[in-house]
């Protein structure tokens, strides 16, 4: 996805932002060049480096020959992200596209951008405590509700809804999106199942999710757990590893989100019951369009708003799509998110044939 001078600009400027947050004494962008800073939160979730970044950069390149993308990843470190934002502003960024590590703590950095008249787009996560230009994400409460309903449907299919308890593995407590997912999941699950244990998972860490699931198995007994709400695919992998280690012969249904390749393969083999497919291309490209518009002095109207506790933020909210084994072909494959060849490696050939992918 990285070609020509934009790739070179991205790599050079990314190091300037990502390698310590200082200016390094280097020259800033050319006077006639517009700079869009893309600041992503972490790399444990594979989508950010594999999809969000290259899709965003490619769309900017397509729309704006005079634009360079200044990229940094905070590695789930809020202080590091603050330094990256300060460096981007020092280097003359014209727009910030920001996926916050800590959505409350980053408000001070957004304030710095506003003082410099630099527009801010909150990407994927709603920044709280301050007004800014746009929010581009998915309907996150609906994501959680979709996951919860899918879990109920799978429990009904297996005839196990009333036979035991559900464990909830929620996302990071510093991520407002995780709170929305949890809210939506509870809207679907409360009164329908018994929640045996519930955890918030720092940093969306698969390792911590595995530890939490091990704690739940010890506390409840493995025969009493009939399903697991996992807020994303990475944590679902940790949950499934814990259950395998505990000796489950048949895994209870486990939800997910992000359509990670490993999760799609787990769905094919029956280890994971579903994922939520988010059209990251649409999200990244819409954010790139808005960023390019802003550097050119445009401000398109948004179809809705999101309440961040301080202001109504103009928002573009995309629809989540639940994907089980029978929907991989007409969603993930059809949209080119993954090819059949990427999914159907040698270990998954049989499962792919059974699912109609071959």
Q: Which domain holds residue 34?
A: 4-138+279-318
Provide the domain count of the chain.
2
* Residue 6 pLDDT exceeds 70: no
123 and 174 share one domain? no
Q: What is the DSSP secondary-structure string of 252-319?
A: PPB---S--HHHHHHHHHTSS--EEE--HHHHHHHHHHHHHHHHTT--PPPSEEEE-SS-EEEEEEEP
* Residue 192 pLDDT exceeds 80: yes
Q: Could you report the per-residue pLDDT of 213-244, keeping only the tens digit for each?
A: 999 999 999 999 999 999 999 999 999 999 99
* Residue 79 pLDDT exceeds 80: yes
255 and 349 share one domain? yes
**What's the whole-number mean pLDDT along residues 120-124?**
97
214 and 232 share one domain? yes
165 and 257 share one domain? yes
Q: Could you report the per-residue pLDDT of 285-310, keeping only the tens digit for each?
A: 999 999 999 999 999 999 999 999 99
150 and 200 share one domain? yes
CA dist., res. 129 & res. 121, Å (int): 14
Q: How far, in Å, are 3, 25, 190 from residue 29 at the CA level?
A: 19, 13, 53
35 and 179 share one domain? no
Q: What is the DSSP letter of 320?
A: P
Q: What is the DSSP secondary-structure string of 34-76?
A: EEEEEEE--SSSTHIIIIIHHHHHHHHHHH-TTEEEEEEE-TT
CATH of the domain at 95: 3.40.50.2300
Which residues pair with residue 34 across a beta bridge? 67
251 and 102 share one domain? no
Read off the pLDDT band of 20 (50, 70, 90).
very low
The pLDDT of residue 26 is 35
Which residues pair with residue 194 across a beta bridge? 165
The pLDDT of residue 22 is 35
197 and 145 share one domain? yes
Task: For the beta carbon of residue 228, count every other beta carbon within 10 angstroms.
Answer: 28
Residue 172, Cα to own-chain centre: how many angstroms?
12
Task: For the beta carbon of residue 322, count every other beta carbon within 10 angstroms.
Answer: 18
242 and 267 share one domain? yes
198 and 242 share one domain? yes
62 and 105 share one domain? yes
Q: Could you report the per-residue pLDDT of 273-290, keeping only the tens digit for each?
A: 999 999 999 999 999 999
Could you list the beta-strand ranges (E) of 99-160: 120-123, 134-138
The pLDDT of residue 143 is 97
53 and 195 share one domain? no
Place of tokens 């981007």: 88
Q: What is the DSSP letter of 251?
A: P
Q: Which of 2-16, 84-98, 110-124, 156-170 has the lowest mean pLDDT?
A: 2-16
Helix, coil or strand: residue 165: strand
Of the two residues 2 and 128, the one the predictor is more confident about is 128
The pLDDT of residue 272 is 98
* Residue 334 pLDDT exceeds 80: yes
Q: How far, in Å, are 50, 141, 148, 197, 215 from residue 184 at the CA level?
A: 27, 4, 8, 17, 24
């Amino acid at each position: 996805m990285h070609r020509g001078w934009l790739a070179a600009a991205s790599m050079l400027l990314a190091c300037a932002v990502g390698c310590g947050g200082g200016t390094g004494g280097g020259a800033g962008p050319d006077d006639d060049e517009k700079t869009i800073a893309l600041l992503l939160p972490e790399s444990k979730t594979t989508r950010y480096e594999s999809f969000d970044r290259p899709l965003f950069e490619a769309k900017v390149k397509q729309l704006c020959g005079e634009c360079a993308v200044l990229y940094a990843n905070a590695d789930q470190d809020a202080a590091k992200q603050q330094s990256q934002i300060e460096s981007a502003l020092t280097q003359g960024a014209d727009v910030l596209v920001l996926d916050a590590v800590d959505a409350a703590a980053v408000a001070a950095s957004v304030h710095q951008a506003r003082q410099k008249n630099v527009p801010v787009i909150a990407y994927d996560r709603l920044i709280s405590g301050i007004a800014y230009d746009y929010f581009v994400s998915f309907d996150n409460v609906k994501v959680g509700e979709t996951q919860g309903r899918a879990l109920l449907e799978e429990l009904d299919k297996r005839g196990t809804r009333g036979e035991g308890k559900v464990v909830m593995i929620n996302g990071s407590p510093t991520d407002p999106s995780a709170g929305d997912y949890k809210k939506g999941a509870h809207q679907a699950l409360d009164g329908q199942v018994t929640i045996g244990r519930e955890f918030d998972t720092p940093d969306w860490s698969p390792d911590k999710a595995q530890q939490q699931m091990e704690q739940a198995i010890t506390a409840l007994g493995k025969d009493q757990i009939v399903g697991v709400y996992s807020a994303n695919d990475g944590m679902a992998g940790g949950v499934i590893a814990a259950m395998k280690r505990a000796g489950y012969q048949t895994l209870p249904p486990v939800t997910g989100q992000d359509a990670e390749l490993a999760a799609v393969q787990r769905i094919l083999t029956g280890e994971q019951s579903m994922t939520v497919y988010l059209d990251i291309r649409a999200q990244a490209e819409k954010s790139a369009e808005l960023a390019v518009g802003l550097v050119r002095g445009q401000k398109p109207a948004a179809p809705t708003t999101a309440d961040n506790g301080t202001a109504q933020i103009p928002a573009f909210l995309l629809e989540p799509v639940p994907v089980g084994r029978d929907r991989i072909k007409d969603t993930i494959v059809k949209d080119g998110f993954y090819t059949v060849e990427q999914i159907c490696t040698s270990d998954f050939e049989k499962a792919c044939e059974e699912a109609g992918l071959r």
